[in-house]
Amino acid sequence: MLPIDAAAHSSRWRHRHPVDKAVLGLGLTVLAISLPPWPGAALVLLTALAVLLGPAGVPGRRLWRAYRVPLGFCVTGALPLLVQVGGPDGFVTLAGGGPVRAGELLLRTSAASLGVLLFAFTTPMSDLLPRLVNAGVPAPVVDVALVTYRMSFLLLDSVRRIREAQAARLGHITRAATWRSLAGLGATAFVRAFDRAARLQTGLAGRGYDGTLRVLVPEARVSVRFTTASVVLLAALAALTLVLERPLT
């Protein structure tokens, strides 16, 4: 199991309805995209961080390990705004107002990423996917997503075991051996994935599969109090941004 999935299953908000957490987490993401980057996105970033480390109870080290990957993409996407190609001053020069635009983009994307992580760190996929049928998503689409989600962990476990076996047989001792081991890893994982899929199809057919996977979903109700508090927090962030925007700019 991936660290973010393990954190979601052990979260303080695990037993809350996904709608409660979607209103807060995805609401923060929408605010980060729609509000002015300064101070709106900055306020959203600080709020999401406070909620993650506070009420949600996400460990700081685990949050950083998950956040550094999207943060790297945010930084990579903001860097091209610092330069411009072509013009009277040369082929590649510093763009006018580039640092400001890059900083605004970085604020927006990093804050939006934290909003998504807030939802991911508190909502296991096994709780979310079966409920999508009630939201109008076709049942076959949900079934494929469920099977893919569960099979991905088996595939990752197989890849880990193969790498350990290759390392024990000195399969990474030289660069050439590493490339041969990598090729063998890909081929073996590919074959095992098809074998598991075939066995899964055979097992479902033997159990009278009629096109719908029936799974037990933990009972949870939408909390009016939690949802209302989330909406009030989002509205307060939007109002505070509008109040502070003119003095700070």
pLDDT at 91: 66
Instruction: Give the model's pLDDT for residue 215.
Output: 67
Q: How confident is the model at residue 6 (pLDDT cuts 50, 70, 90)?
A: confident
In this structure, what are the phi and psi dihedrals at residue 92, rounded to the nearest 5 degrees?
A: -130, 120
User: What count of other Cβ atoms lies within 10 Å of the Cβ of residue 213?
Assistant: 16
Over the chain, what is the mean pLDDT? 82
Each residue's pLDDT tens digit, 205-221: 777 766 666 666 667 78
- Most confident residue range from 94-103, 209-218, 235-244: 235-244
User: What CA–CA distance (Å, rounded) separates 150 from 128?
Assistant: 13
Where do the H-state alpha helices sit in the chain? 3-9, 18-34, 42-53, 60-78, 98-122, 125-128, 139-168, 175-206, 224-248
Q: What is the mean pLDDT of residues 232-237?
A: 90
pLDDT tens digits, one per residue of 138-194: 777 777 777 777 777 778 888 888 888 888 888 788 888 888 888 888 888 888 888
Mean of the pLDDT values across residues 27-38? 88
List, for residues 106-117, the tens digit of each pLDDT value. Answer: 888 888 898 888
Contact 14, 224 (CB under 8 A): no
Of 231 and 133, the one with more pLDDT: 231
For the chain, what are the domain ranges? 3-123+220-248, 131-206
Distance separating alpha carbons of residues 123 and 37, to the nearest angstrom:
27
> What pLDDT score does 143 carry?
76
Confidence check: pLDDT of 247 > 80: no
Residue 248 has pLDDT above 70, yes or no: no
* pLDDT (0 to 100) of residue 13: 84
Q: Are 114 and 60 in contact (CB under 8 A)?
A: no
